[in-house]
Amino acid sequence: MLAAIPFFQLSVYNLDVPGIGVLPIDPWATLVCVGFVVGLEIARWRGIRLGLDPRDVVDGAVATVLSGFVVAHVVTVLFYFPERLEEDGILSILRVWEGFSSTGGFLGAVLGAWLFYKVYRPLPALRYADVICFGFPFGWFFGRLGCGVVHDHIGAEASWFPLAMDFDHGLGPWLEGARYASGIRHELGLYEAAYMIPVGALFLWWGRVDRVPGFFLAWFGILYAPIRFVLDFLRNDDLSSQDARYLGLTPAQYGMVLMLLASVWFLTRLDQRGFVGVDLSRGRRDQPPASALPGSPPGPVEASSTETPSTEITSTRTPTATPTRTASEGSRPELDPTGSTPGASGAEGTPGAPGAEGVPGASGARGAPGAEGAPGAEGTPGVGPVGPPPTEPEP
């Protein structure tokens, strides 16, 4: 026997919680939850690097996954177990925890993301959906690992394949093998989990730079659909737990054909001309964040000052003893013989004792700015806003 993987199976563990009772811990559900958290965190990490609001990424991912599970169950009932609909009617649809089709999950995920980012919270849908898809291979790894450890997808006999599982012999508590299957068989759940390792590595390699929105969505379909189509030919047809088939193909295989065609078409429609992405190598943003794009709610604005700091000019001119005339209300200030205008003695109309008019600024430094509106100290040059060019006094 060439099987490299001895049989093993994780069963439900009943945890006794004081004050609550027995809490069943299902290995499949646990690994699916781990996959959701891992995929979500990777998507959130990329979203932050791209300048997206992490709250929009997380909320959209939750809506995407929930919609995926609901549609996955509906597809399971309609195409894999239609007899349930005949026996239980609509109740078989409402019991959403009884079976999930991965093909239906993909369809539901697309529908959920579109509704969330187009209807419920209008945002650049393709940008956010692509970020969520970036984390999908990492979450799918744990999800399919969960299928593998409970043997949801037992394949056909394959004594010739070294990575198949020996269902007759195991280790430890599974020494006698499985009771529901025999022989050396494909374990398709573990195959898909293993395939997600190079896919995830490739996504990380591609993700070193920003990509046009939709890039990872298209490439996941192109990478996944052909492999899944081939793997479904390895499913068993001699056990009680076998997939339904229509004209020799499983419902998933028909779905994979549609996924591949749609992904290739979608990739050819992506227009990379004029796309200015985020420079991830230096953390510099070359385009506005998604919150600043049309149709997006206002997000936090980064403070970016382009003002040239004003330079305070200190006059080194020696004050003269020339008497100054106090400017009464309505009078015109005298002109400096050098052509400069004197500084403002204070905010116009402000009550109080008028300050002495400051000594004019240096010759040629017309209208040097200073502290606007501050009255000049007695004997010091007045400062104020830039004055107009000198004009001849009116007669």
Residues above pLDDT 90, as percent of the chain: 61
Run of H or E including 169: strand 165-170
Higher-pLDDT residue of 307, 58:
58
Give the pLDDT score at 252. Answer: 97
**pLDDT, averaged across the chain:** 80
Sign of CA dihedral 112, 118, 123, 124: positive
Closest CA to 28 of 134, 152, 118: 152
Q: Is 297 within the bounds of a domain?
A: no
* Contact indicator for 141, 220 with CB cutoff of 8 Å: no
Q: Is 103 within the bounds of a domain?
A: yes
Convert 92-128 to b/e letters by CB count within 10 Å (16 or more is b). bbeebeebbbbbbbbbbbbebbeebbeeebebbbbbb
Give the pLDDT score at 3. Answer: 55
* Contact indicator for 390, 340 with CB cutoff of 8 Å: yes
Tokens at 92, concatenated: 């078989």
Reported confidence tier of residue 297, pLDDT bands at 50, 70, 90: very low
Give the pLDDT score at 2. Answer: 54
User: For 53-57, 234-238, 300-304, which range has the lowest pLDDT when averaged over its residues?
Assistant: 300-304
Give the pLDDT score at 291. Answer: 44
* Contact indicator for 180, 13 with CB cutoff of 8 Å: no
Higher-pLDDT residue of 282, 197:
197
Higher-pLDDT residue of 333, 162:
162
In this predicted model, what pLDDT tens digit does every residue of 200-253 receive, in sequence order? 999 999 999 999 999 999 999 999 999 999 999 999 999 988 899 999 999 999
Which strands, in side-by-side order, build the sheet including 154-157? 5-7, 165-170, 184-187, 154-157
Q: Is 264 within the bounds of a domain?
A: no
Residue 346 has pLDDT above 50, yes or no: no
Higher-pLDDT residue of 298, 135:
135
Residue 288 CB-half CA count within 13 A: 12
Mean pLDDT value across residues 8-18: 92
Tokens at 200, concatenated: 């995830």
Residue 67 has pLDDT above 70, yes or no: yes
Q: How many domains does the chain have?
A: 1
Tokens at 336, concatenated: 């400096």
In this predicted model, what pLDDT tens digit does every residue of 303-325 receive, in sequence order? 444 444 444 444 444 444 444 44
d(CA 135, CA 139): 7
In this predicted model, what pLDDT tens digit does every residue of 107-126 receive, in sequence order? 999 999 999 999 999 999 99
Higher-pLDDT residue of 291, 115:
115
Q: Is 349 within the bounds of a domain?
A: no
d(CA 229, CA 249): 9
Reported confidence tier of residue 39, pLDDT bands at 50, 70, 90: very high
In this predicted model, what pLDDT tens digit does every residue of 163-188 receive, in sequence order? 999 999 888 888 888 889 999 999 99
Q: Is 85 within the bounds of a domain?
A: yes
Give the pLDDT score at 113. Answer: 97
Q: Is 96 within the bounds of a domain?
A: yes
Residue 390 has pLDDT above 60, yes or no: no
Q: 21 Cβ partners below 8 Å, 6+ apart? A: none
Q: Is 51 within the bounds of a domain?
A: yes
Higher-pLDDT residue of 276, 236:
236
For residue 69, the enclosing domain spans 26-170+178-209
Residue 300 has pLDDT above 70, yes or no: no
Tokens at 146, concatenated: 């969960």
Give the pLDDT score at 242. Answer: 87
* Contact indicator for 257, 229 with CB cutoff of 8 Å: yes
Higher-pLDDT residue of 259, 288:
259
Q: Is 198 within the bounds of a domain?
A: yes
Give the pLDDT score at 321. Answer: 44
